[in-house]
Amino acid sequence: MAEKSRLSLNQITTANWSVAEAADGCARHGVLSIALWRHKIQEAGLARSVRAVKDAGVHVSSVCRGGMFPATTPAERARNIDDNFRAADEAAALNADSLVMVVGGCANIGLDEARKMVADGVAALVPYARDRGVRIGLEPLHPMYAAERSVLVTIGQALELAKDYDAREVGVVLDTFHIWWDPQVEKLIEQAAGRIYGFHVSDWLVPLPDVLMGRGLMGDGAIDNRKLRLLVEKAGYDGPIEVEIFNRAIWDADPDTVLTQVIERFEKFV
């Protein structure tokens, strides 16, 4: 059983809560960590977001998200990199464990070219992040997002991209929804030892109701979250475990009720 002390509320799970509401919610429910989304940070303002998590006494496990590097013009790519610098500033101010990268898809660009743009984008971001003490967490997304969200789709590919950098600068963020299917998941998690910056859990609903919004609470789907948690622990990761659920019904429900369920399911299935 995973200790409740390791649970981190990824803010998207309670999508209707502001930064302050989510931070207060965590404090109220005894959840020690939170992951913040940039559109929510923007709504609140960075200074107020920093104060909110400080006042609530919660630790920031990650800022979601940087990345989205590929674009059809050099000007747009430069703007994307600049936006990643702002994301690194926010992660630094919030003292987050890492800045999570959803690297961007290949639609209108082509897979090989998009992958080059991602490598270039990460190379541009790392020195800036390093200077601010921000670690870059490369998150391989499920292959079904390759066209629209992330050409980075396997742990192996993320490690290949990370290996050019110091293990304290660039690592991987492992989300069970994205990696559970991989026939090599055991071997790859073992290889990720020393570079695991974050671990996310949720479940894969059956039938999958939607490409983006098909996640469920742990225990409601096909993923063996506990098995994967034990594998990342064996590889040395003992940090926060984020619960990150994209699901319209959960978003529309009362966030306090959702957080209560999240804690129950975390203790039972993670």
Q: How many CA atoms lie within 13 A of 220 on its CB side?
A: 22
CA distances from 11 to 24, 35, 146, 214, 244 (A): 12, 6, 24, 17, 7
If the CB atoms of residues 182 and 242 are measured against a second copy, the closer one turns out to be 182
144 counts as binding a second copy under rule CB under 8 A? yes
Using the contact rule CB under 8 A, the part of the chain among 1-9, 75-83, 140-148, 251-259 near a second copy is: 140-148
DSSP 166: -
If the CB atoms of residues 193 and 211 are measured against a second copy, the closer one turns out to be 211
If the CB atoms of residues 156 and 219 are measured against a second copy, the closer one turns out to be 156
The long-range contacts involving 183-190, CB below 8 angstroms and separated by at least 24 positions, are 184/155, 184/156, 185/155, 185/228, 185/231, 186/231, 188/154, 188/155, 188/156, 188/159, 189/155, 189/228, 189/231, 189/232, 189/234, 189/235, 190/231, 190/234, 190/235
224 counts as binding a second copy under rule CB under 8 A? yes
111 counts as binding a second copy under rule CB under 8 A? yes
If the CB atoms of residues 60 and 223 are measured against a second copy, the closer one turns out to be 223
1 counts as binding a second copy under rule CB under 8 A? no
C-alpha–C-alpha distance, residues 169 and 138, integer Å: 11
Q: Which residue in 22, 16, 88 sits closest to 55, CA to CA?
A: 22
175 counts as binding a second copy under rule CB under 8 A? no
If the CB atoms of residues 144 and 230 are measured against a second copy, the closer one turns out to be 144
User: What does residue 3 show for φ and ψ, rounded to 5 degrees?
Assistant: -65, 135
Please identify which residue in 221, 239, 240, 255 interacts with a second copy, judged by CB under 8 A.
221
Please identify which residue in 93, 107, 123, 124 interacts with a second copy, judged by CB under 8 A.
107
230 counts as binding a second copy under rule CB under 8 A? no
Using the contact rule CB under 8 A, the part of the chain among 60-68, 83-91, 165-173, 201-209 near a second copy is: 201-209
Residues near a second copy (CB under 8 A) are 105-107, 110-111, 115, 142-144, 146-148, 151, 153-154, 156-157, 160, 180-184, 204, 206-208, 211, 221-222, 224
